[in-house]
Structures are given as structure tokens and as C-alpha cells.
Amino acid sequence: MLNPIIAQGIEFTNVYKQYKDAPVPIREAMCFKAQYPALLPAVKEGDMYAGRRSGRRATFFGPVWWSGYPNFNPKQPVEGKQGGYVFDFAAVYEIAKTDEEKKAMDELNKFWTKECTMSKIHAQVDSKDGVGFLYANNLDKLVTQGLPGLKQEVNQMPESDFKTGLLSVLETVTNVIRNYQQQAEENGLTDIANNLSAIAERPPATIYEALQLILIFELMCHERHYEINRLDVALGDIYVQQIDSGAMTKEQIIEEIRGFYQMIMENGDITVCRLMLGGKGRRNADNADRFIEAAFLAEQRHKQVAPQVSLRFYKGINPNLLTLAYETINITGTFPTLYNDDALLDGVVEAYKVLPEEASNFYPLGCGEIIMAHQSPALLVVGWSIPETIHKGIRAATGSTFDELYQSVLTQIKLQAEIYASYHRVLVDTHNNESAFLMAALLNDDCIKRGKPLLNGGAKYNGGCVMGHGFTNAADALTAIKKLVYEDKNLTLEHVLKALDANFKGHEDIRKALLAAPKYGNDDTGADQMLARLWRDISIISNKAGEEVGFDFFTVSSVNPGGYWLGSIMGATADGRLAGEPFAIGNAPAAGRDKNGLTALMNSVLKTDPANGGTMTNFKVSREFFSKERGKFEALFSAYWAGGGLQANVTIVNKGDLEAALKEPEKFPHLLVRLGGWTARFIDLEPPIQKEILERTLY
């Protein structure tokens, strides 16, 4: 008998072959039906909710994706992340044990090497860089209408293959719910069974029912990439009705929310799984604010790395929520992440060319890259090494002025932006040709109305966001060259380049001079303006490159920890950074380079242009400062927000805990730290990342 994973892979492949030439929505719907509920583990004793993600699978349809080309071999059997039609190439080496299984996997491998979506993409392009498509669903619509309401809405569409596909996936979701219901009944899990029965037949009427529906829908729509957008809007009215009527106590609902968090933690990818609360433009702000309080109290008990609870606040939100948010950060160490709508929304309008009311639906995806929730697919392009591009411009520069050097840098930026835009065009077009992404289309604002799939004219906006890394290092390098080469004339450009090529070996004096040049994060006007100028120019050039290949927007973010691995393969840079050292993470100083205090750091960050693809700034604060000088802490951040601060990742740690955790990790299992766009247990991180976090300035 074959391993069940292999058997399911064969069954899925046979369905794909049967519908290979069928219309795209029909093939997808049939393949989706073939994988569920087969890929979902059973409900088990002790579960509060149904809806777990299975471990290994051989082949399946990924309704959202994070794509990296599968260059797998027996010495490196890594699953990788793909989307569309997916084959786990690592399974060839890890699952098959018998000769029969090995033969079956070899046949699957041979077939899907040509047929998986990523293979079709990379048959057209030389690049093997990854790209992502995640999505922020309209959960308010899901809870308000329920599955029957969605089915009724789809039934009103004109007849089409797209309509048939949508009805099919809704039937599959309902079948999964009924399957779970039967399991729960057989195991005496009455509460779960009743919950499931309810959401199969009508919109949810309780928080418990609503969270169950969201878990199953997100599981089937996002796999391990839960993106829980505006949970407070979706559940605020139900929460208030249950509390005010006496049907439930706050304590009971807090526990239901905590259980919801636990399911995401156990089944999601910890580097994403954002849960967004708050923000301007909510239809039920007062009720939503009351729910946020319960959500924060649940997070204080949960204290895990996922979901990444985040708050969008603004003038007019319940002021007690920001105070509660600070206390929650103190208890959890990192959550919630904070976003300032008063400063962000105008930038979103400009960068994404959307209406103000549409900008209020912005969603910081994954690590914080901004998308238009349930209006646009979240398309994340490759990781862009900004220092590498700037270094090419420096090396190609001619002339005797800094302006001429900067023009050379802009030329390289334009070339790179055009490459990424063209590459992204291929990715979007290929995925559109292969997949309708039916689950995401159900909770998009316009797909059903327009009768079109997400990437084929259904979504109102179609664009992309490049993940930029190392902005700070690149800008500091330009600042140092401008000062030392063109203003003070203490060095020549040739001397600097020669020192970089040697990784400063034998040129320690040049490195010392570069390190001594002004650095971002110290409220130095020149250094700060250089970063603002560079990012602004990159944003303008990239958006134009995207427009030229047909995108509505094409932005660049500076948010997540890709600077660790991009830095590891980059040579020395003119800010004094040695080859292989990590880039600065997000919109923050290079580790330890901010030396003038927290106010100076904030003043530097305040000069960031809000019209970008998303930004994250890390603030590492000692628990002693937070506890003993709480008033000063809140006053500093109040001034930061009032001055236009866009966002903050606050990590609160005891002095010495990080060093102690390196020596005795078993004593610090719950020590959480913020990387760039996500949180991790400090003891789980690789040594270079631990080193970078240790070197960050502690305030």
C-alpha cells in the first residue's frame, strides 16, 4: 500500500490531467475539490476549533503563493514555497521508502517538473528569484454574509466558467465543514460540532462561530499564510451584542480569541500571519474598539510569535487602546506592532494612486509591505539589494562631482527597476493563465461584481511591491562618499573602491574614516536627507517602470529581514560595513550606529517619506526604562506620532537577557524579539541574526 501522501498526490495529478485543457476556473475548482478534505488532519481531543493544516503533501493547488524555484537535490531536500499548481520536489527524497513508492514519486516528479506553475514561469525567464502573492480578505463580508450569503451573491452572476468555479469551491468549503462536523460528533466534541453545523447553514451569530468560520476559510484560502484583516470590524458588532446581552462574559470571549490565536500559531508560518486591528474608515468604530480591548487581553495571555497582532491607530480611536497597546508590548515583549494612520494614509494615496476612502483599507501584509486589502492582490516581487545597485552606480561613475555620481546611481536604479517590473509582468501573466485564485476572488470587493478572476480584471487594482533591503547602508555609503571624496577631498573614489574590493584589509584607515562619517539615526540632516532622497527616487523610478508594463502601482518597501541573507552575499560597502555583515533591517540604523539617543533616532525616522511600499522601524527598549520611566516612554512616542512617525516595532527586553540567553538558552524559551517584519524566539535564531540584534542600541 502506498504512503497516503503519495496516493493523494497521484489522485490529484489524475484530476489535473483529466481537466488539463478545461477552462482555468473549472480545472482549479476540480483540483481544489480533489485535495479537500484529504489534506486536512482530523479534529482531536482538546481542540477548541476545527481546521488544522496537514504536514507533508506531494502535490496540491496553492490558492496563494510564495514562489521560489525548486532547485532540490538529495543533499538539500527543502520543500520551498510555491503557488498555483505545486509539487513538493523534496518529497521525492523524503517520503518514498519502498520501490513502488519511489517509482510513483519518480513519475510524479517527471510530470510536475514541467507542469508546476513555477516551472512554467522559469521556462520564460532567467531569474530564479522568489515572488509572493498573499491576500487580505474582506472578513467583514465573510462574517456578515456567511457561506450561504456568498453562494447567493455568486448565483446572481451571469453564467460563466468563473461562476461555476466559485460555486464549486464554496461547495468544497461546505463539505469540509460538514466533514469536520461529523468527526466532532463521533468524538463527542459537541461545542465544535454545533459551531460547524451553524456556519454551514447561516452567517455566524457568536464570536465562537465567527472565529471558526474565519479559521477554515483562511486555512483553505491562505494555507499557512493567515492574513487576518480588520478582525475588529468583522467581529465588533457580535462582540458587543454578546457582552451587552449577557450571553457571554468578557472572560469567556477572551479565551475564545486566545484559542483562535493558538490555532494560527500551530498551523501558520510564523514569518507572516499578521492580524490587523483598528484604522480609519471602520463602519463600526465604537464596537470595533471594544473588541480590540479583548483582543489585546487575549494576546497578553498568548505571548507567542504568531499571529503578529498589529494596531492601526489615529486621532479619534479610543485613547485607552494605545495605553493598553503599550502595556501589551511590555507583557509580550513585541506585540502589537503599531501603525499611525494619521501619517500613513496620505502616503498610501500618493504611492498607490487610490482614493482616500480606498487608502483606509490599506493592509500591512506579511512583514509590513502595504497592499490595498480586498481591492488588489498582494503581489510581492523579489528582494532587492539596494546596496548592490548603488555600488554598481558608484563604480560606473565618471565626472568630478557628487551629482554626477548620483546620476550614475539613478541609472543603475532605473535598469534594475525595469528588470524587476518586466519579471513581475511574466509572473502575473503566467499565474493568470494558470489559475483563477477562486477562494481569494470570493472576498474581493470587485471580482464577483465584474465576473472576472482576481488577476484577469477582477480586482480593481493590480500592482506589485518590491522588497527593498539595505536602504540605510546604501544611503550611509553615499553620505560618506559625498563628504570624504567630494566635500573634504580626503579620499579619492578610486581609493574607496580599492579598499572595498580588499574588504578593507590593508585599508583600515579608510574604513575608520567611512565609519566616522555621519550616519542615519543620529538626527544628522545630511545623512537623514540622503536616505529620504534615495528612497524617494527609487519609489518614483520603480513606479514609472511598473506603469510602463501595465501595473497600477509598483512600489518598494523597506520592511523585513531579507537584509540578513542579502548582506551575507554582499561585499564591503562604503558606509564601513564589512563583507558578509547584515544590512540594516527596515527603516532603521545599521546596528549600533545610532549613538545620540532615542530622540535623535526618532527625529531621523520622522524624515521618512510616507509615499512608499511599506516601512518598519525597530526600537529596542530596556524593560527598566519602560517600567521606571513609563511616562517618559509614552511622552517620547506621543511626540513621535504627532511628528508624523509612520510605524514602530518595539522590542522590550531586560538588560543582559539576550547575552544570558546565548549562554543558557533553555532558561529563555519565551524571550521574543522583533526582526524586521516578524517576531521570533531569540534562542531559535541563527547566530548572525542574534549578533545583529545584540548590536542594536538598547534605550
Tens digit of each residue's pLDDT (9 = 90 or more) over 163-198: 999 999 999 999 999 999 999 999 999 999 999 999
Taking the CB of residue 106, how many other CB atoms lie within 10 A of it? 12
What is the H or E stretch that residue 463 is in? strand 463-469
Instruction: Report which of 499, 494, 469, 291 is spatially closest to residue 383, judged by C-alpha positions.
Output: 469
Query: Are the CB atoms for 662 and 693 separated by under 8 Å?
Result: no
- Res 128: pLDDT: 63
Query: Are the CB atoms for 255 and 200 separated by under 8 Å?
Result: no
Per-residue CA distances from 217 to 145, 146, 199 (Å) = 13, 11, 11
Long-range interactions of 122-129: CB distance < 8 A, separation 24+: 122/69, 124/426, 124/430, 125/423, 125/426, 127/382, 127/419, 127/423, 128/68, 128/69, 128/71, 129/382, 129/383, 129/423
Distance, in Å, from the CA atom of 71 to the CA atom of 381, rounded to the nearest integer, reads 19
Residue type, 34: A
Residue 583 C-alpha cell reads as: 544590512
Distance, in Å, from the CA atom of 215 to the CA atom of 50, rounded to the nearest integer, reads 8
Peptide linkage before 307 cis (omega within 30 of 0) = yes
**Longest distance between any two alpha carbons in the chain, whole Å:** 81
Three-state secondary structure of 547-592: HHCCCCEEEEEECCCHHHHHHHCCCCCCCCCCCCCCCCCCCCCCCC
- Res 377: pLDDT: 84
- Res 150: pLDDT: 98
Residue the block writes with cell 511628528: 643
Query: Are the CB atoms for 163 and 157 separated by under 8 Å?
Result: yes
Q: Return the bridge partners of 134, or none.
A: 378
Taking the CB of residue 44, how many other CB atoms lie within 10 A of it? 11
- Res 686: pLDDT: 85
Alpha helices, H only, 303-401: 319-332, 341-352, 356-359, 386-396
Residue 251 C-alpha cell reads as: 472572560
**pLDDT, tens digit, for every residue of 210-235?**
999 999 999 999 888 899 999 999 99
Taking the CB of residue 520, how many other CB atoms lie within 10 A of it? 31
What predicted TM-score, i.e. pTM, was given to this entire model? 0.94
Query: Are the CB atoms for 166 and 233 separated by under 8 Å?
Result: no
Distance, in Å, from the CA atom of 341 to the CA atom of 90, rounded to the nearest integer, reads 43
| Residue 622: exposure state from Cβ atoms within 10 A (0-12, 13-18, ≥19) | middle
Distance, in Å, from the CA atom of 621 to the CA atom of 610, rounded to the nearest integer, reads 24
Angle between helices 161-186 and 139-155 (to 10 degrees): 120
Residue the block writes with cell 529563555: 668
- Res 193: pLDDT: 97
Instruction: Report which of 442, 446, 573, 567 is spatially closest to residue 517, judged by C-alpha positions.
Output: 573
Low-confidence ranges of the chain (pLDDT < 70): 64-82, 127-133
Instruction: Report which of 34, 118, 136, 110 is spatially closest to residue 80, judged by C-alpha positions.
Output: 118
Instruction: Report which of 655, 635, 605, 653 is spatially closest to residue 323, judged by C-alpha positions.
Output: 635
Residue 527 C-alpha cell reads as: 545623512
Distance, in Å, from the CA atom of 179 to the CA atom of 290, rounded to the nearest integer, reads 34
- What percent of the chain lies above the pLDDT cut of 70? 96
Residue type, 378: A
What is the H or E stretch that residue 164 is in? helix 161-186
Distance, in Å, from the CA atom of 612 to the CA atom of 453, rounded to the nearest integer, reads 27
- Res 81: pLDDT: 58
Which residues fall within 8 angstroms of residue 688, CB to CB, at 6 or more apart? 564, 568, 582
Residue 382 C-alpha cell reads as: 523579489
Which residues fall within 8 angstroms of residue 235, CB to CB, at 6 or more apart? 143, 207, 210, 211, 291
Residue 400 C-alpha cell reads as: 568630478
Q: Return the bridge partners of 311, or none.
A: 277, 338
The HSE-up count of residue 142 (CA atoms within 13 Å, CB side) is 33
Q: Return the bridge partners of 132, or none.
A: 66, 380
Instruction: Report which of 540, 378, 544, 364 is spatially closest to residue 461, judged by C-alpha positions.
Output: 378
- Res 94: pLDDT: 79
